[in-house]
């Protein structure tokens, strides 16, 4: 009944996919930037470090209605 009203349900697998996808994307971008600067592995590590909080933010924004109550 709630789904018919347009409320959003929390999907753990979907949240994990958003988190992993965001972290992987930032690690990839970091690797490309690092490669251009001379060290792809350092860039990938920096991208992954940025990707974890970015992934948490992406999950929060995606499921904002669920967390609001």
Residue-level pLDDT at 10: 79
Residue-level pLDDT at 1: 40
Nearest C-alpha neighbor of 15 from the set 56, 45, 48, 54: 56
- Residues 32/38/36/27 CA torsion (nearest 10 deg): 20
Helices (H) and strands (E) in the chain, counts: 3, 0
What are the tens digits of pLDDT across the range 36-67?
Answer: 999 999 999 999 999 999 999 999 999 888 87
What are the tens digits of pLDDT across the range 18-34?
Answer: 999 999 999 999 999 99
Q: How large a percentage of the chain has pLDDT more than 90? A: 71
């Amino acid at each position: 009944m709630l789904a018919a009203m347009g409320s959003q349900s929390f999907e753990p697998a979907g949240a994990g996919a958003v988190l992993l996808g965001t972290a992987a994307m930032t690690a990839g971008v970091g690797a490309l930037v690092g490669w251009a600067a001379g060290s792809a592995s350092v860039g990938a590590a920096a991208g992954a470090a940025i990707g974890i909080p970015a992934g948490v933010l992406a999950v929060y924004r995606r499921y904002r209605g669920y967390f609001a109550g």
